């Protein structure tokens, strides 16, 4: 194994020790462990020749300028440094540490890039502390809104209060502005573990992301009438849980017959909630994703019609509250073509695959063209301590990024 790959693996191992909860890996937005992680990764960035800073939402930024061309455009590379609870060591961290090592290796080889580079370690992607994802990349892109600052964590602390403690200053707190104007950027490239089983099944280390699925989340509830489980005849019941169960199966059936569609009812609460009482209310969540917005929206309409049908037949009422609607992101054809050429050169063949999971690239796509490289996850497992990408796969990903940067440098004119 090449020394640069060994360095990357040692970085991943060391960062995995930086946690808020001993015995497992948990780093959440602006927590003490996140502060330590930023300090540690900043030392590695400086070792690679990057100039480091932290923005007002706790994102760590390492920048490499072009001394001969101070106005050169900037390529963004990165991912997130926060984790879920009891996480694996690769999700997010790989996409921050791998570019640092790639730049360090290019410097060792005496290669000067004709464009500036920023390596980004976003402070928040997983949505653990404030139940809202992408706070870090939204801050970097100038997309944080006043409503985001009012979100509170389990201790009742607001995002605004947490951010204020990050940068104690006499100045009044202001929403962060975007870090760059789009014309000053070449694009954003994110390397991430796949978190799915496709590459593992195809026996490939790497794949290039074609699009990131659009996502709809909604809170639904069916309302009926409570009643005695022993005395109320079946034909007179208005059982809210029966409606919710029927809807759940309808969503599953629609997704099964629609290629690429995934639909999940992931939470459900029933009231009054007693073994001998007919449920009056069943409140639940729906998560619907597809790489094509047209298909996702059509599925959404079909499920809304199904809910109305079920409610009518069962004499229930229902509420449907949309909580999230992210359009699908199509990756940049130009950056993706270069990335694909690098993967083909080093892996022999390549595969294009959509991402079902959201990533920082979704937010960055509003600012600049994006591309993503996926690294195989063993058995598709992630958000789990057993999450694993092999040293050989990681070394290949490192070679691909180095090759990609060299290709981009060759085709780039200042």
Q: Which residues bind Zn ion (CB under 5 A)?
A: 91-92
Closer CB to Zn ion, 33 or 244, in the complex: 33
Residue 160 tokens read as 């605004």
CB of residue 81 to Zn ion, shortest distance in Å: 10
CB of residue 92 to Zn ion, shortest distance in Å: 4
CB of residue 90 to Zn ion, shortest distance in Å: 9
Query: Among 369, 372, 346, which Cα is nearest to 358's?
Result: 372
Is the CB of residue 94 less than 8 Å from the CB of residue 389? yes
Bond preceding residue 272 cis, omega within 30 of 0:
yes
Closer CB to Zn ion, 175 or 357, in the complex: 357
Euclidean distance between CA atoms 73 and 400, whole angstroms:
22
Euclidean distance between CA atoms 81 and 35, whole angstroms:
10
CB of residue 335 to Zn ion, shortest distance in Å: 19
Residue 190 tokens read as 């994110």
Q: Which H/E stretch holds residue 290?
A: strand 281-290
CB of residue 127 to Zn ion, shortest distance in Å: 11
Euclidean distance between CA atoms 36 and 27, whole angstroms:
10
CB of residue 191 to Zn ion, shortest distance in Å: 11
CB of residue 277 to Zn ion, shortest distance in Å: 42
Is the CB of residue 248 less than 8 Å from the CB of residue 410? no
CB of residue 351 to Zn ion, shortest distance in Å: 20
Query: Among 313, 225, 314, 213, which Cα is nearest to 264's?
Result: 213
Which residues, 6+ apart, have CB-to-CB distance to 102 below 8 Å?
A: 4, 398, 401, 402, 405
Closer CB to Zn ion, 73 or 289, in the complex: 289
Closer CB to Zn ion, 92 or 243, in the complex: 92
DSSP letters for 163-179: HHHHS--SSPP-PPPPS
CB of residue 76 to Zn ion, shortest distance in Å: 16
Is the CB of residue 204 less than 8 Å from the CB of residue 347? yes
DSSP state of 228: B
Is the CB of residue 265 less than 8 Å from the CB of residue 254? no
Closer CB to Zn ion, 217 or 297, in the complex: 217
* Cα distance from N-terminal residue to C-terminal residue, the chain: 35
The pairing of strands 281-290 and 214-223 is antiparallel
Closer CB to Zn ion, 195 or 338, in the complex: 195
Euclidean distance between CA atoms 20 and 18, whole angstroms:
7
DSSP letters for 117-160: EEEEEES--S-TTTS-S-HHHHHHTT---HHHHH-B-TTS-BHH
CB of residue 80 to Zn ion, shortest distance in Å: 6
Euclidean distance between CA atoms 401 and 1, whole angstroms:
16
Euclidean distance between CA atoms 103 and 307, whole angstroms:
53
CB of residue 348 to Zn ion, shortest distance in Å: 27
Beta bridge partners of residue 225, listed in sequence order: 238
Closer CB to Zn ion, 280 or 328, in the complex: 328
Closer CB to Zn ion, 91 or 403, in the complex: 91
């Amino acid at each position: 194994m090449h020394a640069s790959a060994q360095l990357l693996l040692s970085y991943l191992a060391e960062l995995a020790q930086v946690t808020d909860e001993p015995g497992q890996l948990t780093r959440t937005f602006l927590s003490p462990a996140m502060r330590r992680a930023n300090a540690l990764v900043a030392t590695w960035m400086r070792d690679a020749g990057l100039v480091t800073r932290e923005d007002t939402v706790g994102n760590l930024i390492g920048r490499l300028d072009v001394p001969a061309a101070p106005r050169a455009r900037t390529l963004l590379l990165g991912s997130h440094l926060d984790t879920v609870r009891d996480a694996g060591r690769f999700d997010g961290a790989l996409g921050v540490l791998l570019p640092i090592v790639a730049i360090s290796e290019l410097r060792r080889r005496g290669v000067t890039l004709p464009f500036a580079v920023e390596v980004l370690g976003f402070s928040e992607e997983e949505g653990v502390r404030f139940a809202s994802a992408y706070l870090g990349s939204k801050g970097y892109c100038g997309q944080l809104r006043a409503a985001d600052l009012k979100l509170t964590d389990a201790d009742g602390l607001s995002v605004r209060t947490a951010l204020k403690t990050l940068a104690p200053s006499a100045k009044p707190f202001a929403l962060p502005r975007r870090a760059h104007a789009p014309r000053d950027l070449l694009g954003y490239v994110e390397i991430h573990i796949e978190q799915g089983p496709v590459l593992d099944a195809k026996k490939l280390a790497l794949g290039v992301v074609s699009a990131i699925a659009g996502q709809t989340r909604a809170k639904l509830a069916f309302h009926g009438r409570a009643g005695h489980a022993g005395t109320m005849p079946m034909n007179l019941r208005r059982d809210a849980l029966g409606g919710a169960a029927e809807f759940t199966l309808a969503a599953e059936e629609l997704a099964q017959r629609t290629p690429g569609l995934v639909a999940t009812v992931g939470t459900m609460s029933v009231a009054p909630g007693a073994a001998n009482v007919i449920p009056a209310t069943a409140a639940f969540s729906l998560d619907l994703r597809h790489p094509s917005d047209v298909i996702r929206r059509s599925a959404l309409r079909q499920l809304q019609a199904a809910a109305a049908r079920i409610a009518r037949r069962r004499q229930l009422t229902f509420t449907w509250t949309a909580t999230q609607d992210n359009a699908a992101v199509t990756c940049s054809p130009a950056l993706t073509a270069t990335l694909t050429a690098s993967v083909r050169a080093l892996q022999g063949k390549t595969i294009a695959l959509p991402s079902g999971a959201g990533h920082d690239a979704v937010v960055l796509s509003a600012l600049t063209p994006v591309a993503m490289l996926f690294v195989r996850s063993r058995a598709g497992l992630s958000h789990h301590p057993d999450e694993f990408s092999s040293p050989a796969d990681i070394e290949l990903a490192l070679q691909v990024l180095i090759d990609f940067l060299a290709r981009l440098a060759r085709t780039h004119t200042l």
